[in-house]
Amino acid sequence: MQLTHGGSNAEAYWAPDGKRLIFQSTHPPYGCDQIFIMNADGRGEHLVSTGKGRTTCGYFLKDGKHIVYASTHESGDACPPPPDRSKGYVWAVYPSYDIYLATDRGRILKKLTSAPGYDAEATVNWRTGRIVYTSLASGDLDLWTMDSDGSHKKQITAAAGYDGGAVFSRDGTKLVWRADRPPTPERMARYRELLAANLTSPMKMEIFVADADGSHARAITNFGCASFAPTFTPDGRKILFASNKHDCDGRRFELYLMNLDGSGLEQVTSFGGFTAFPEFSPDGRRLVFCSDRGAKQRYEFNIFTAAWR
């Protein structure tokens, strides 16, 4: 089922009751991503971010009445400048991003982060209430956790390189995320050069898993390509993720499923374009994802749901 039609829509995540989705979208009159909530059938879409700056990574808290998302709005109403693509395909890690707690109607209640530099990519474990996010507070792009009121912040990764897009298993005992751990001095120098310009390259990322406190971290892919947007299956036994391993360094991404040790790899989608950001519904019966399947123009990405069997 296609829920959005036109624009650039991505990172849709379920409400705890499975009746709504929070997602980011760029479409008129907004010049860059804002956060919206819609019903699970695609109706009732409404803005829940400020409409100012750029936003990313909205997620529901366990009560279904509150959300978190990252935004640059405090640094200005306008969209921040796009990343410098003369440096290749890079993502901007805007230092003006901070994470905010808001109601599901969009009223900001609290700013949860205030350290200098990038703070974004937050997700929430509904069983424990803990938030995991990516922060530059240590001087590198590491994973941190905090309570839903912003207290008890703790750095849980420290290896040099980018760690991001993390999610907990449903029981709150494990984490999965994407990471770029540059393996050579040349790659590390490139990573640090980009980071100094508030940029990072997403084209060489592997999937990592660890215990919820960051211990026993290990890579479970070694494709040398771009693998990202991992999520646990509801039973916690497998990981679903997006990868271009079939088109390394290309723009075609499909969904893949594997065991927690990286074995048993199987391809789940074969749409031939870009498909990513999967998440299982709370009852485990449906999957939400982003895809350019059937797009009518370049850079059009829509939100879809499908039955999971």
pLDDT the model gives residue 150: 97
pLDDT the model gives residue 199: 97
Give dist(CA 237, CA 147) in Å, integer. 26
Mean pLDDT of 167-196: 97
pTM above 0.85, yes or no: yes
Q: What is the mean pLDDT of the chain?
A: 97
pLDDT the model gives residue 156: 98
Task: Select from 257, 264, 261, 262 the least CA-distant residue to 243.
Answer: 257
Buried b (16+ CB within 10 A) or exposed e, 271-306: beebbbbbbbbbeeebbbbbbbbeeeeeebbbbbbe
pLDDT the model gives residue 263: 98
pLDDT-derived band of residue 204, with 50, 70 and 90 as boundaries? very high
Percent of the chain with pLDDT over 90: 96
pLDDT the model gives residue 85: 86
Q: Which tens digit of pLDDT belongs to each residue from 73-121?
A: 999 999 999 998 898 899 999 999 999 999 999 999 999 999 999 999 9
Give dist(CA 73, CA 57) in Å, integer. 14
- CATH architecture for segment(s) 8-307: 6 Propeller (2.120)
Mean pLDDT of 15-25: 98
pLDDT-derived band of residue 230, with 50, 70 and 90 as boundaries? very high
**Residue 212 has which token pair?**
């919820």
The SS3 assignment for 193 reads helix
Strands 154-155 and 98-103: unpaired
Mean pLDDT of 50-56: 97
